[in-house]
Amino acid sequence: MTIRRRAAALLSSAVMAGGILATAPSAAQASDPPAPASARSEVGIQYYCDYYDGSATQRRGSKGNAVREVQCILNEWAGRQILTVDGDFGERTEAWVKEFQRGWQIKDDGIVGPVTWDRMRWGV
């Protein structure tokens, strides 16, 4: 199940249950990747691509399923394929992580640690 389908299914459940919804903020600058039209409710909407469900720190040079998860989620947030989901955290992935971090006004170091994972997965 894709992220959008999972999010849509959870959103439908939340709306039917009368959940309170809050829209994610848009990117800080026009050049930042756009935030998707998503919402979080009491039920919760989690972005997840089925590659990795942990939160280990990922940075340039990291490889594997956790990096695939980062790349896939960034593609979903951008609303288009900005990165090849290849599991190799290179220069391009680092640049897009920094753009994402700037959009959420968190430290833009290009490292996917606990705060960045939380923003990527929950948008809060």
Angle at the Cα of 62 from the Cα atoms of 57 and 63, rounded to 5 degrees: 120
Residue spans of the chain under pLDDT 50: 1, 4-5, 7-43
CATH number listed for the domain at residues 3-122: 1.10.101.10
Mean pLDDT of the chain: 76
- Provide the residue type at 5 as one letter: R
Q: How far is CA 19 from CA 7, 8, 48, 69, 79, in A?
A: 14, 14, 21, 28, 25
Cα R_g (the chain), whole angstroms: 14
- 16 contacts: CB under 8 Å, gap ≥ 6: none
Distance CA 103, CA 39 (A): 16
Percent of the chain with pLDDT over 90: 58
Write down the pLDDT at residue 45: 58
Exposed e or buried b for every residue in 25-51, given b needs 16+ CB within 10 A? Answer: eebeeeebbebbebbbbeeebebbbeb
Distance CA 94, CA 111 (A): 7
Distance CA 98, CA 9 (A): 30
Write down the pLDDT at residue 124: 61
Angle at the Cα of 9 from the Cα atoms of 40 and 3, rounded to 5 degrees: 75
pLDDT in tens, 67-78: 999 999 999 999
What residue segments make up the domains of the chain, in order of their start?
3-122
Write down the pLDDT at residue 119: 94
